[in-house]
Structure 1
Amino acid sequence: MTDIQNRDVAIDRFIGSNSTYYRAAFHKIGAQRGYAPSFNMAAAIFGPVWLGGRRLWAAFWPFLIAELLAFVLIAFALSGGAGADRAARADRLEGLAAVRLQEATTANETDATSSLAKALTRSAAALGDAARQAREEAGAANAQTSLIVTLGLALFLAARLTTGALGNQLAERRFRAWRLGGEKVEGGFSRLHAAGVALLLGILIPTIAFHFADRELFRAFPSNPAWNSASAVWLDGVVSAISGTVAPVANGMTNGINAALTLMEAVLIQTPWPVVMIIIVAVAWQLAGFRVFLLTAVAISYLAILGYWEKSMQTVALLGTAALVSIAIGIPLGILCGYKRRVAGVVRPLLDFMQTMPAFVYLIPVIALFGIGKPSGVIATIIFGIPPVVRLTALGITSVPASVREAAIAFGASRRFILFKVDLPTAAPSIMAGVSQTILMCLSMVVIAALIGAKGLGEDVLRALQYAAQGQGLLAGLAILLCAIVLDRIVQGRGTTARD
């Protein structure tokens, strides 16, 4: 049997019905490079139902969303569009204007010179003007109804035509995957899936229509406010219980962080400023080169001349403590995640939570456990700064070529030798990128940490926000930016030196 005959038999098995049409379509697509023009009438007519029946889920969801958006536009326009709400507002204003006018007429008949009569007359005139303006806005919105309907119909028609134009291409691509996968993937047209999609559309489309027919029907989810209150009270009790249980540990952590901050601030602030400046620029030159040396000198001059030196050192102490703890925890954890997939599977959701949860949300339990002050700011900064170094360290370890490890093992290298002499040097660029990102992420928490009592440049930014002092806020923000740039360049220079 020839290859063409084998392909035709496979097409018959894959399609299940109407295989003659798909044979010709698939042969045409396979004989040309790029897009082979074809149009599947069944796909264009039935749209998402056809895509679901053919199990083309990657294309099903975009086209379903596009068609639902088209139905939303059409139903919105046919129900009056934005003009319906504005017309209802105009009706309310006209009613109020009529009532107020009647009151003003009565007051004028009693005493036209009284302040009440004059106030009611002015109020009636203002309500009448507002009602006329609302009516004009409703008329302008109603004029756009035909445009919205046209847009919805055009979107629906474009989705169906595109489905028909791409239907054979999508089916042929799935057929090739079906053959390459050893026919493990189900073929043929699934009536069950098509019926499920039809049922889904039968629920969603009437829901859209009923909503715009009566806009109060699905405006708000039927929730119970008492559940929210009860849940909040229960969480308050949980946090209080946890706070009381971990109080000794929290006090120990607070004392340790305070000691580290006190030491770093003593070194950076109590040491004469010329000594600190000279050491910083010298370290920048030694680790990152002459250009970073010049950048560091300019940044330090800016901080010193504008009076940000002491607050900058407080910020660096806060940042240094948080970054050191983040790196000390993050690199070993990243190495463990790189070696152990199960550990990575457990840690990854935690990192996602730490990065996606808004900082103001996890400040609440931090304050409950550690109180307000610098230690709470450091801990919040650590939570925010750990994920980058863990992720990039794990990525660097998993990216080490297997052949390099196999060569080391062949020469009798121990696991410790492989870790420190093979894996870590090879993964060093990724690890240093993680360290740099952690430092920058920690520095981005300076303003938020200032909200809970941490000192530093964040205080000036918050003060500028409170008093709308644009100039002061920009100067303090630029100081934070310069600190971030200098630290990032020095760390990147350190990574380059390590690679060299």
Structure 2
Amino acid sequence: MNVQPSQTDVQAPAAKASSVKDIEVDRNELDRSIADFVDRNPDYYANAFHTIHDTTAGIPRTFNWAAALFGPFWSAARGVWGFFWAFLILEIIAWVQIGRGTWGELGADAMAQAERQAARAEEFLLQAQAARDAGEDPSRFETLASNLTRAAERSRETAEAAAADAFMILLSGLALLVVLRLVQGIWSNVVYEKQYSRWRVAPGAVPSGYRTPNIVFGVALGLVIMPLTVYRFTIENIPDWLTAFPADPDHYGATARWLEAVIDDAARSGAGAFDGIVLVVRQILDTISLALIGTPWPVIMAVICVFAWRAAGPRVAIFTAAALAYIALLGYWEIAMETVALVGAAVVLCVVIGIPLGIWFGKSQRAYRFAEPVLDLMQTLPAFVYLIPIIAFFGTGNPPGILATIIFGMPPVIRLTALGMRGVPESIKEAATAFGASRWQLLKDVELPLALPSIMTGVNQTILMCLSMVVIISLIGGGGLGKVILEALQFAAKGPGLLGGFAILFVAMVIDRIVQGAFRRADHR
């Protein structure tokens, strides 16, 4: 039985598509919105924006003559700062080419070299004449003079060729400037329409209108940046203050002496507190070192392999056994355990101090805003820089090296603990509170378990960052495998350096695999 579709059924999809395409837009209301956004020339920009909206393929057929004539300064006036900076830099390149082709001293270096070579050739000719008058052989001086004369001629030819290219350089700069202005004229309305679309979503956050302060700021930037840059790249003999900042050396000396005096005074006044900190760190380090180095090596090796097996599985246990065998067979066992003790002491202190701070920062946004610059400073300040105050306050050796490692390795566990605490859903906390959970129960039974993945990631990152400090703390008297690398660097010993480096790599990989495997197993339970 054949059922023919009715004409109404066939036309229904087309009618539906047509209805979607022909959505009615309140044109007057849209024009008023555009007028509020552009402030000046609303009719022009309304027509341009409508043309852009109606164009479904290709480049919209609009051209902004103001953008083409005034270039980046139109972008500044309209607050299109990305457009402003991009075309300001590109136009500077064009103006440099124009300047080089117009007043640039092209070939000046080659011409100066030619003059020096000619003067030197003249000196050799005079020496040849003096030798001839004295009855000596002048051929050596004549040969040198002839060679320098030919070199001077080649330098002059190079200078003349460079000067002859000036007109082509000028034309290329003008052509580039014209192209850039045409591009700005074609694309400025498109970019401005996108800014209008963002303005409709967030009116207070997106610049709008024609602002005189923006014009003043853009013109000031252009007058500072463009002339100085063009002058720098088109004039040969420029003043020294333009290429090197006119700094006064006395300022550096006075500031360095003041800072050194402050550090010395702080070290003297806080000597007791600093000694106490070193004592606590040394006690922790001695305890871990006694357990790792004082215990017979078969016991330690067996315990580590069994722990790796139970925590991360048989594959990690096999890798751990192979890594420990490499370390032991090459005679690195004792200093490798010293390295593990250093890292262990640093990680223990980082975790004991960092996790409570991370919990506090996760619960208090004000405290985190106060601590964030300090954490940024701890992570971005080069390690060699804060080794200097570490030595001044705590001396040298393993305990100060651990303190330097703590400064470098603590920020990840603090940041990721705070991130995990802030990531706990408020609905879950509200539900726990509604069921009568106290603040301690809420923290212990709800927030910390949910934040545990982020916290363990922070601990893992802290372990790896502490291991990366092993070589650096050897510079201030720290022991372990870092001392092997330092000695290899001092004597350019390639073999011992590579063997010690692989030992550090294996220690890092073993710790990382065990921690990651233990975390994955705990997460799957």
TM-score, normalised by the number of residues in structure 2? 0.82
> For the structure 1 residues 295 and 134, does the alpha-carbon distance in structure 2 shift closer, same or farther, using more than 3 Å as the test?
farther
Report SS of the residue matched to 2:387: helix
> For the structure 1 residues 88 and 478, does the alpha-carbon distance in structure 2 shift closer, same or farther, using more than 3 Å as the test?
farther
Paired residues of 2:424 and 2:447 also in contact (CA < 8 A): yes
> For the structure 1 residues 219 and 415, does the alpha-carbon distance in structure 2 shift closer, same or farther, using more than 3 Å as the test?
same
Partner of 1:279: 303
1:440 alignment partner, one of 449, 464, 482: 464
Spell out the pairing of 1:51-450 with structure 2 (5 A cutoff). Answer: 51-68=75-92, 70-71=94-95, 160-181=181-202, 187-212=208-233, 214=238, 216-450=240-474
Paired residues of 1:29 and 1:35 also in contact (CA < 8 A): no
Letter in 2 for 1:211: R
Partner of 1:46: 70
> For the structure 1 residues 86 and 355, does the alpha-carbon distance in structure 2 shift closer, same or farther, using more than 3 Å as the test?
farther
Paired residues of 1:265 and 1:314 also in contact (CA < 8 A): yes
Paired residues of 1:299 and 1:483 also in contact (CA < 8 A): yes
Letter in 1 for 2:80: L
In 1: Cα distance, 2:482 partner to 2:150 partner: 49
In 2: Cα distance, 1:180 partner to 1:140 partner: 58
Report SS of the residue matched to 1:222: coil
Partner of 1:27: 50
**In the TM superposition, what is the alpha-carbon distance from 1:105 to its structure 2 partner?**
8.3
**In the TM superposition, what is the alpha-carbon distance from 1:410 to its structure 2 partner?**
2.2
In 1: Cα distance, 2:145 partner to 2:472 partner: 49
Greater CA deviation, 448-457 or 85-94?
A: 85-94
> For the structure 1 residues 159 and 441, does the alpha-carbon distance in structure 2 shift closer, same or farther, using more than 3 Å as the test?
farther
> For the structure 1 residues 386 and 133, does the alpha-carbon distance in structure 2 shift closer, same or farther, using more than 3 Å as the test?
farther
**In the TM superposition, what is the alpha-carbon distance from 1:497 to its structure 2 partner?**
2.9
Q: Does 1:4 align with 2:4?
A: no
Report SS of the residue matched to 1:451: helix
1:17 alignment partner, one of 19, 26, 40: 40
**In the TM superposition, what is the alpha-carbon distance from 1:127 to its structure 2 partner?**
9.7
**In the TM superposition, what is the alpha-carbon distance from 1:349 to its structure 2 partner?**
0.7
> For the structure 1 residues 181 and 252, does the alpha-carbon distance in structure 2 shift closer, same or farther, using more than 3 Å as the test?
same
Unaligned runs of 5+ in 1: none
**In the TM superposition, what is the alpha-carbon distance from 1:199 to its structure 2 partner?**
2.5
> For the structure 1 residues 442 and 147, does the alpha-carbon distance in structure 2 shift closer, same or farther, using more than 3 Å as the test?
farther
In 2: Cα distance, 1:127 partner to 1:85 partner: 17
Greater CA deviation, 451-460 or 467-476?
A: 467-476
Partner of 2:60: 37
Spell out the pairing of 1:451-490 with structure 2 (5 A cutoff). Answer: 451-490=475-514
Paired residues of 2:489 and 2:497 also in contact (CA < 8 A): yes
Alignment RMSD, CA only?
3.8
> For the structure 1 residues 133 and 398, does the alpha-carbon distance in structure 2 shift closer, same or farther, using more than 3 Å as the test?
farther
Paired residues of 2:195 and 2:206 also in contact (CA < 8 A): no
**In the TM superposition, what is the alpha-carbon distance from 1:65 to its structure 2 partner?**
3.7
Report SS of the residue matched to 1:218: helix
In 2: Cα distance, 1:260 partner to 1:130 partner: 74
**In the TM superposition, what is the alpha-carbon distance from 1:126 to its structure 2 partner?**
11
Report SS of the residue matched to 2:242: coil
Letter in 2 for 1:382: I
Paired residues of 1:178 and 1:187 also in contact (CA < 8 A): yes
In 1: Cα distance, 2:179 partner to 2:325 partner: 61
In 1: Cα distance, 2:105 partner to 2:303 partner: 67
Paired residues of 1:82 and 1:142 also in contact (CA < 8 A): yes
**In the TM superposition, what is the alpha-carbon distance from 1:191 to its structure 2 partner?**
3.0
Greater CA deviation, 358-367 or 472-481?
A: 472-481
Deviation digits for residues 374-430 of structure 1, max 9, x if unmatched? 112111111111111111111111122222222222222222122122221111111
In 2: Cα distance, 1:129 partner to 1:289 partner: 79
In 1: Cα distance, 2:165 partner to 2:488 partner: 44
In 1: Cα distance, 2:31 partner to 2:401 partner: 68
**In the TM superposition, what is the alpha-carbon distance from 1:57 to its structure 2 partner?**
2.6
Paired residues of 1:428 and 1:499 also in contact (CA < 8 A): no
**In the TM superposition, what is the alpha-carbon distance from 1:469 to its structure 2 partner?**
2.1
Letter in 1 for 2:473: A
Greater CA deviation, 192-201 or 83-92?
A: 83-92
1:492 alignment partner, one of 493, 504, 516: 516
**In the TM superposition, what is the alpha-carbon distance from 1:173 to its structure 2 partner?**
2.5
> For the structure 1 residues 222 and 421, does the alpha-carbon distance in structure 2 shift closer, same or farther, using more than 3 Å as the test?
same
Partner of 2:7: none
Letter in 2 for 1:189: Y
In 1: Cα distance, 2:294 partner to 2:169 partner: 68
TM-score, normalised by the number of residues in structure 1? 0.86
Paired residues of 2:460 and 2:512 also in contact (CA < 8 A): yes
Which structure has the greater CA radius of gyration? 2
Deviation digits for residues 58-113 of structure 1, max 9, x if unmatched? 44334334444554566578776997667667766776787688779879988979
**In the TM superposition, what is the alpha-carbon distance from 1:151 to its structure 2 partner?**
7.8
Deviation digits for residues 10-62 of structure 1, max 9, x if unmatched? 11222222222221222233345687534433223323211111112344334
In 2: Cα distance, 1:401 partner to 1:202 partner: 53
In 1: Cα distance, 2:246 partner to 2:332 partner: 53
> For the structure 1 residues 23 and 433, does the alpha-carbon distance in structure 2 shift closer, same or farther, using more than 3 Å as the test?
same
> For the structure 1 residues 297 and 226, does the alpha-carbon distance in structure 2 shift closer, same or farther, using more than 3 Å as the test?
same
> For the structure 1 residues 411 and 158, does the alpha-carbon distance in structure 2 shift closer, same or farther, using more than 3 Å as the test?
farther
